């Protein structure tokens, strides 16, 4: 039979067998265990119960309670008794999207949207975070222009002798850390292959590597990459690599290094 009125509130009751919450009683009644919890759930004054099972059968005495200290733990009891209390489910906010950023470059890859209202690289990355399928951005503050891209296939340098283009690339990632224009050349190398930044995740499969360096690869006379995709250099280190300081200035031709 359907119960009239609204369904019970979505409250999370955590129960312990052979335990009791002494005191803080509101009232009591004789009912089944499920009915005991249900009646407490729909009563905003009730935040805990103790249910003592009868010696024969599925019924028992239900003690509705309002614990003054909702954090207190139940007391052990040898009887056939259950102690339950309302315990809100703890939800944690998803971690903020991390981006690795580099100046003086733009990304190769399919453009899925162009945002002309973004005045800074941070506004551009915020647009990427909000756009399903965005895997990287190319930003130029001089125009300004923010291109959202579905993949980061490769990158290429851009420059102007006349003006500061304020060019940046930024790529979202879930690694422990990534750094632009940083590398550990000839250290920890395991294997390498051509691929997008996203393809470099294959380095980490099966514990084969715990880091990678993504580089644009061979370049022509105008410093443009000759391959459609970059190169993933998979690396394995026995001790964690320390991220470079903010003022790190050694030139690694835009290589992006990521560590897990």
Are 71 and 105 in a shared domain? Answer: no
* Number of structural domains the chain divides into: 2
State whether 142 and 220 are in the same domain: yes
Residue 236 placed within a domain? yes
Domain enclosing residue 184, as ranges: 98-242+252-259
Query: In 3D, which of 162, 210, 218 has the Cα closest to residue 188?
Result: 210
Can you give the pLDDT of all 260 residues of the chain as single tens digits? 444 445 555 788 999 999 999 999 999 999 999 999 999 999 999 999 999 999 888 899 999 999 999 999 999 999 999 999 998 877 666 667 899 999 999 999 999 999 999 999 999 999 999 999 999 999 999 999 999 999 999 999 998 999 999 999 999 999 999 999 999 999 999 999 999 999 999 999 999 999 999 999 999 999 999 999 999 999 999 998 999 998 888 888 899 999 99
Q: Which of 53, 86, 119 is the last residue of a domain?
A: 86
Residues 113 and 214 in one domain: yes
| Co-location of 176 and 71 in the same domain | no
Q: Quick check: is 91 in a domain?
A: no
- Which of helix, strand or coil describes residue 124? helix
Same domain, 166 and 224: yes
Instruction: Tell whether 44 and 120 lie within a shared domain.
Output: no
| Tokens standing for residue 18 | 């052979």
In a domain, 93, yes or no: no
- CATH number for the domain spanning 137: value is 3.50.4.10
Q: Is the dihedral angle over the CA atoms 37, 39, 41, 44 positive or is it negative?
A: negative
């Amino acid at each position: 039979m359907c119960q009239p009125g609204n369904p019970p509130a979505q409250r999370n009751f955590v129960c312990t067998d052979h335990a009791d919450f002494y005191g803080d009683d509101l009232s009591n009644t004789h009912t089944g265990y499920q009915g005991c919890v249900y009646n407490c759930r729909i009563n905003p004054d009730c935040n805990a119960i103790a249910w003592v099972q009868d010696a024969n059968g599925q019924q028992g005495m239900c003690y509705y309670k309002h614990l003054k200290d909702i954090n207190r733990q139940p007391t052990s009891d040898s009887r056939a008794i259950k102690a339950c209390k309302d315990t809100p489910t703890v939800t944690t906010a998803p971690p903020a999207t991390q981006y690795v950023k580099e100046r003086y470059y733009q990304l190769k890859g399919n453009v899925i949207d162009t945002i002309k209202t973004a005045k800074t690289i941070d506004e551009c990355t915020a647009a990427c975070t909000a756009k399903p399928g965005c895997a990287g951005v190319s930003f130029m503050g001089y125009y300004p222009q923010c291109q959202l891209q579905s993949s980061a296939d490769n990158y290429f340098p851009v420059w102007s002798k006349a003006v500061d283009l304020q060019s940046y690339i930024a790529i979202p990632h879930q690694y422990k850390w990534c750094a632009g224009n940083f590398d550990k050349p000839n250290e920890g190398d395991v294997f390498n292959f051509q691929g997008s930044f996203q393809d470099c995740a294959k380095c980490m499969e099966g514990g084969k590597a715990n880091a990678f360096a993504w580089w644009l690869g061979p370049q022509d006379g105008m410093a443009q990459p000759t391959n459609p995709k970059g190169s993933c250099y998979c690396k394995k280190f026995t001790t964690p690599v320390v991220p470079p300081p903010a003022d790190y200035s050694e030139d690694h031709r835009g290589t992006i290094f990521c560590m897990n």
